[in-house]
Amino acid sequence: MRKIATGLLSSVSWLSLALTAGAADLVTKAPALAPQPISIWSGPYIGLDVGGYFHKASSREEVPGFVGFDGSLSDTSAFVSAHAGYNWQAGQAVFGVEADISSPSRRASAIYGPAFAPTAETFTTEIRWLSTFRGRVGVTFSNLLLYVTGGLAVADISNTRSDPVILGVLAKDQGVRTAGVVGGGVEYKFNRQWSARVEGLWMKFPDGTVNTNDAFGIPGLNYRTRFTNEVAMVRGGVSLSW
């Protein structure tokens, strides 16, 4: 009887050791969980940018009965802008809002017809300041963020069509105008606070139409001038987060 008890006890001991070793082996061989992305993009930020505007504008005289002056111009200028925003990071996805303001304050002109001739006209356009209010959606690869952006653009734009020889200003459309804006960019985090980025934006403002009735000094001859303004911008900047 004692031998049987001793044998059973020995068997139980070996079985316990085997189960313990097997459990330890399972724990050792269990696959490690993938590390979660560190949330380095969440929080507010401010920054500065430098870049270039590409402004395309046109002036078209629409007169019943005959074709009026129709022309366009393209202008490129450098600018400086300031931006501020806030990001939320969820895993590799980043969602944000941002606002910016810039002031190129550059005037461009084109002359249609022989210069200083009675038939010559001048088209002048100027963007005095421009702001955008946008959402951002992106995906991170560690310190690198790729994003698309879109929202609202607001600008103070002045368009003028004039006859410098005889009639002076023929049509002028000036004021604050709004448009949709779309774009995208890439941003890199050097550390938790500092990042650098490059982005591009595009916007086309609704046509502005000015009506008048004194073309060539003839009362009652109704006509109108239609102005268009389209802006693309590319800029690089730095941001400070906290």
Alpha-carbon gap, residue 6 to 190, rounded angstroms: 69
Tens digits of residue pLDDT in 104-123: 767 888 887 655 555 678 89
* Average confidence (pLDDT) over 44-67: 87
What pLDDT, on a 0 to 100 scale, did the predictor assign at position 171?
A: 84
What pLDDT, on a 0 to 100 scale, did the predictor assign at position 19?
A: 45
Look up residue 70 and give its two tokens: 């129709």
- pTM above 0.85? no
Which residues are CB-contacts of 59 (< 8 A; sequence separation ≥ 6)? 69, 70, 71, 72, 123, 125, 159, 161, 171, 225, 226, 227
Tens digits of residue pLDDT in 8-20: 345 444 544 444 5
- Nearest Cα to Cα of residue 147 among 192, 182, 110, 112: 182
225 with 161: CB under 8 angstroms? Answer: yes
Beta bridge partners of 227: 59, 208
Look up residue 232 and give its two tokens: 């693309």
Beta bridge partners of 204: 230
Tens digits of residue pLDDT in 19-35: 455 544 544 454 555 55
CB environment 98-109: b (16+ within 10 A), e (fewer): bebebebebebe
Residue of higher predicted confidence among 107 and 6: 107
* Band of pLDDT at residue 81, cut at 50, 70 and 90: very high
DSSP H or E segment with residue 209: strand 194-212
DSSP H or E segment with residue 24: helix 2-29
- Nearest Cα to Cα of residue 100 among 132, 134, 52, 137: 132
Share of the chain above pLDDT 90, in %: 52
Beta bridge partners of 198: 186, 236
